Structure 1
Amino acid sequence: MFRTPRPRRSHRALGALAVSVTAAAVAAAGLLPADQAGAAAGSLRSLAEAKGIYFGTAIGQGDLDNTALTTVAGTQFGMLTPTNEMKWDSVEPSPGSFDFGPGDRIVAFGQAHSMKLRGHTLVWHNQLPSWVDKLPASQVQTAMRNHITTTATHYKGKLYAWDVVNELFNENGTFREDAFYRAMGTGYVADALRTARAADPGAKLYLNDYNIEGLNAKSDAMYNLAKSLKSQGVPLDGVGFQAHFVVGQVPSSLKANLERFTALGLEVAVTELDDRMQLPPDSAELAQQGRDYANVVTTCLAVKGCVGLSQWDVGDADSWIPGTFPGEGAGTMYDNNYRPKPAYYASVDALGGSTSNPSPSPTPTTTSTPTSTPTPKPTDGAACKVTAELNTWNTGLTENLTVTNTGSSTVDGWALSFALPGGQTVTGAWNATVGPAAGRLTARNLGYNGTIAPGGSVSFGFQATHTGNAGPAGQFSLNGVVCRAA
């Protein structure tokens, strides 16, 4: 699969929060760090960590204003990569003038959610300020060392790993003839790694590239370079496989390829996973995308030394793909409204979770209930409490609801009925199916979160528009039993 360089992207913002909530309400919605509120039950993060790996994502500073996006990022993922905020043109746009503000915002979000952090990237031919390309060859090494040292020192002790050199090979396995190669030859890679290790001894140091996932000329070049660097004692800890795939084209040699790198004593990681298709997507493409994601997850689990996977961007609305490949997209596990797609359920299943995946649909709605969802059974002794966290902006809102079983018996399949204030219309939901879109609604469990033990709880949420009344939902009942609001 040929991929052109990622452009810098603009981000949609949902607006500033207009409602303050208590810490207890935020914790109940799963928005606090894992050590305070715990990872979402059955989340990608918790399932992956139970298997000894991580499942991550990438966001930019503009994404931090999108509450729907950050809710998914903070509850589902355990590793965070900045999309652009640590690249050279952002950090050092002019010689010796450093700006760490954007990157610091990403780091702060990750730390607030107890996520691991990946630095991306110190040396890359793209998004490189023009002043670097214009330097005399004799000055490039000094500029590179200064940039790496200053940047890595700033984030010292905060990052799990750095992508030290990014996308260093052409498709035929030759080195890209960028400013660094022209000035220093192939030796710039070892020099960059040594400089990064001196600046931050605790961070894992990676080389990262795309189209190296299968056995081919480009992956051979990466393998031979890694082997040579290791034999010289150069501090290289791992290789990142970006995994920007096309639906149905995950290479059959993926496992064998990863294993030859781990045999060198290196970590391997899937660093920028997505799986694009022609738009609009159809059910067959979505189903195949699910199989592709499951394939990648199970392969990582099967390779000793594969430490984790990260998806590039959170949902389809944020993806770089349509801007680079016109007519293509839908490459992530979440749709434009941050609702999970078949790829999410397939990934959960591959990690050992339990789901009942609704039939894939290219146009999911919030007003119908999948036929695979069982009808909830009234439960003797059931009682309930609902806590809410509400975020609003000009004409929109998100609301997270946590339902606690205060009864003495387990709830086996649940349906929470509630009323929306007038003028509110649901446009998307997560962790439940919700319908109809207005008036009195019913949220029903998905396949993986249908059981609520006595004293246990389950959380779900929805996004809605409003015409002025941005108040919370009310009049809750669980399987016909009236709940109290907390």
Structure 2
Amino acid sequence: MHTDLSVRRNPDPEPEPEPAPGRAAGPGGRTRSRKLAAVTAVVASAALAGSLALVKPAAAATSLKSLAEAKGKYFGTALTQSNLSNSTLTSVANAQFDMMTPGNEMKWDTTEPSNGSYNFGPGDALVSYAVAHSMRVRGHNLVWHSQLPSWVSSLPTNQVQAAMEAHITTEATHYKGQVYSWDVVNEPYNDDGTLRQDAFYNAMGSGYIADALRTAHAADPNAKLYLNDYNIEGENAKSNALYSLVQSLISQGVPINGIGLESHFILGQVPSTMQANMARFAALGLDVAVTELDDRIQLPASSANLAQQATDFAAVQNDCLAVTRCVGVSQWGVGDADSWIPGFFSGYGSATMYDQNYQPKPAYNALVAALGGSTGSSSSTPTTPSTPPSTTPSTPPSSPSSSAPGGGACKVADAVNAWNTGLTESITITNTGSSAVTGWSLVFPLAAGQTITNGWNAAYNPSSGQVTATNLSYDATIPVGGSVNIGFQATHTGNTGAPTSFSLNGQACSIG
């Protein structure tokens, strides 16, 4: 995506459509196993020491985790509770990864669906699994504007701080000593470098971030505390704003240990300034981590696409290796079959290093080579690359011109992924006219009860009713036969329907 923003794509992956996105199936709090309790001291002491070197588990020499550990790093993945029943997926995860991030099970809508009523069962199941397979845990996440129960947003502003502090304290205390780190505040920034005006900002101003960090530290002093966001991988307005914030937090003595770079890339768009950006945060005394890596491709993926993806994955790993305080890389998901990308970015996929059958792709071999290993074979699966789905970017705005598609021809395809009170919509605009579009506005009606909370790859105004999506600086031109993908997250009151019409620069578009 970008300059640097174009690299991005979209916010933290929403719930995979499991029982209901954002909620993992399963009963409430469960008793932890003795084995889980026994390793608590080990995990806590490792976090306290700040050491990233792990005792190497028995694994083939070419496993990503053993190669990363040899360099003082980790290589992780994200799992959801439903993944644990897939033996093919878990065999790869067990062999390759030594850090685990719960996909949804520690988010607010799962852990505290109603005020003061906590459900740690799904998160406990994943922590137990991680412990049993010698994986550490990245706690994800404590405060986020998305997957936030409606009761939080409905609170009077003078009650939000107490609710936030109670939630952080209860969850961080529950997992005290069992997580390596916490994403304390997730995605606090807009792409233009302003803070999101969510329930927390509206109630407390920018000070909510410092308060959240202090509260998390008080509850679990040995966990590493991170701010995590997307579109901050390279040097740009968003990462500059975060850098300034972190400088201020450090000067105030606020406990913060690291920055998470989500890294949901579009093929060929890893920013050239990623290493320099990592280095400047590291120079402040912070760890940096690549927390949610994937690299989406417009389908069908060609062999050239997969080769470029391998180059992209290697570039990210090499950037991390070049910065001492880059502690590790985590891919978001294990393989293309469990990736969030196809469900959120229509026409995209093939975003991970393993294909739909969990066979390694060229990106796997590129990572092994970057980490100094042999690319002869994978320790968990045969080396047979393949293909699957992929997706798009996000950044700041520019003003469109009045160029309409030649002949007024445009086509729109959209996909809605809805859960209890929220939805994500992915919209692909294709220029089917005879001349390029330079500068565009797409107008469409949102269904009654839907309100956009954030979007990517376009500026949206207003947030409900008849909406106009205007191009950003990096996606202003749509060539003949070309497409651009945009999207947004929205709340809803029961109607999850897609827009019934679209017009591009005043010209009606076909839908399909």
TM-score, L = length of structure 2: 0.65
Q: How far apart, in 2, do the equivalents of 1:250 and 1:204 lie?
A: 26
Pairwise mapping of residues 30-429 of structure 1 onto structure 2 (< 5 A)? Answer: 38-356=58-376, 361-362=386-387
Q: How far apart, in 2, do the equivalents of 1:225 and 1:36 lie?
A: 37
Q: Give the SS at the match of 1:117.
A: strand
Q: Is the 8 A contact 1:40 1:76 kept in 2?
A: no
Q: Is the 8 A contact 1:287 1:360 kept in 2?
A: no
Offset at residue 2 of structure 1 (A): 3.4
Deviations 1:277-326 (A, max 9, x none): 01111100000000000011111000111000000000001111111101
Q: Give the SS at the match of 1:98.
A: coil
Q: How many residues align?
A: 342
Ranges in structure 2 where 5+ consecutive residues have no aligned partner: 1-7, 20-53, 378-382, 389-512
Residue 8 of structure 1 aligns with an amino acid whose one-letter code is: P
Q: How far apart, in 2, do the equivalents of 1:213 and 1:124 lie?
A: 19
Deviations 1:105-151 (A, max 9, x none): 10011000111110000000000000000000000000000000000
Offset at residue 265 of structure 1 (A): 0.4
Q: How far apart, in 2, do the equivalents of 1:266 and 1:362 lie?
A: 37
Offset at residue 40 of structure 1 (A): 3.3
Residue 269 of structure 1 aligns with an amino acid whose one-letter code is: A
Q: How far apart, in 1, do the equivalents of 2:55 and 2:376 lie?
A: 29
Residue 129 of structure 1 aligns with an amino acid whose one-letter code is: P
Partner of 1:7: 14
Q: Give the SS at the match of 2:284.
A: coil
Residue 301 of structure 1 aligns with an amino acid whose one-letter code is: L
Pairwise mapping of residues 19-34 of structure 1 onto structure 2 (< 5 A)? Answer: none
Q: Give the SS at the match of 2:16.
A: coil
Q: How far apart, in 2, do the equivalents of 1:302 and 1:111 lie?
A: 29
Residue 2 of structure 1 aligns with an amino acid whose one-letter code is: R
Offset at residue 5 of structure 1 (A): 5.2
Q: How far apart, in 1, do the equivalents of 2:296 and 2:161 lie?
A: 38
Q: How far apart, in 2, do the equivalents of 1:359 and 1:126 lie?
A: 37
**What's the RMSD between the two structures over aligned residues?**
1.7
Q: Report percent identity of matched pairs.
A: 64
Ranges in structure 1 where 5+ consecutive residues have no aligned partner: 13-33, 364-486
Deviations 1:327-374 (A, max 9, x none): 0011101001100000000000000001148795548xxxxxxxxxxx
Q: Is the 8 A contact 1:58 1:311 kept in 2?
A: yes
Q: How far apart, in 2, do the equivalents of 1:274 and 1:332 lie?
A: 5
Q: Is the 8 A contact 2:313 2:367 kept in 1?
A: yes
